[in-house]
Amino acid sequence: MPGPLRLEFVTSADRLDRLPPTRAEVAVVGRSNVGKSSLLNALANRTGLAHVSKTPGRTRLLNCFRLDEDGRDATLVDCPGYGYAKAPAQMRASWARMIEGYLLGRDELTTILVLVDGAVGPTPLDVQMVEWLDHHERPYDVVATKHDKVKASTRDRRKRDLAAGLDLDPREVTWVSAAKGVNVDRLRDLVRTRLAP
Ligand code: GDP
């Protein structure tokens, strides 16, 4: 099915065993400000979809969206942004435990979309996340954001550097722009493939 993902907010959970049962699940992670909300809205072509993940009380929860398309029993989970500098260390540690427990313990996960700011390149936290997923042999796909913020003449090099910083082949990175709609269709295809019945 082409076109926007038909995502509907279901619930927010503070631990993996409070998430609704599903057959297949895609998680979305990235540091704060990477462009995660903008991208979720672009995938669904709905301006307010990811708003729910930013409402007070939900920013530290696993926000769960059902993919409401025929034949699919699938969900997408928007994980709290990591590396939010203003949070006290103790709070950061408890988010990390929650997200780690989820990413390692959720058997239904078919991929973890790791968002990396394409205008900034991988930060040490992004590198840590990818190395950690590799170490635990968890499935993931790297998505670079903000394609429109990088000058056309430097994009090839930026993509090579971004991939190299994560020890990946550039072909393994999908570089999107939520603002301009670049490669949003490609990412929709990827999500649908990962959630295929
Ligand atoms: P989140 O914290 O990861 O949910 O990030 P947001 O979606 O709130 O975006 C953070 C900032 O990046 C905002 O100022 C957005 O307007 C900006 N942003 C997000 N996506 C894009 C994009 O594709 N292009 C550009 N130029 N800016 C973007």
Query: What pLDDT digit, counting tens, does each position of 99-134 carry?
Result: 999 999 999 999 999 999 999 999 999 999 999 999
Ligand 1 within 6 A of CB of 37: yes
Ligand 1 lined by 92 (C-beta under 6 Å): no
Q: What is the DSSP letter of 154?
A: G
Query: Which residue ranges make up each domain of the chain?
Result: 7-194
Does CATH place domain 7-194 in 3.40.50.261?
Answer: no
Q: Which atom from ligand 1 is nearest to the alpha carbon of 180?
A: 23
Instruction: State the pTM of this model.
Output: 0.96
Instruction: Give 76's contacts (C-beta < 8 A, 6+ positions apart).
Output: 5, 7, 25, 26, 27, 28, 40, 64, 65, 67, 191, 195
Query: Is 179 close to ligand 1, i.e. is its CB under 6 Å away?
Result: yes
pLDDT digits (tens, 9 = 90+) for 11-42: 999 989 999 999 999 999 999 899 999 999 99
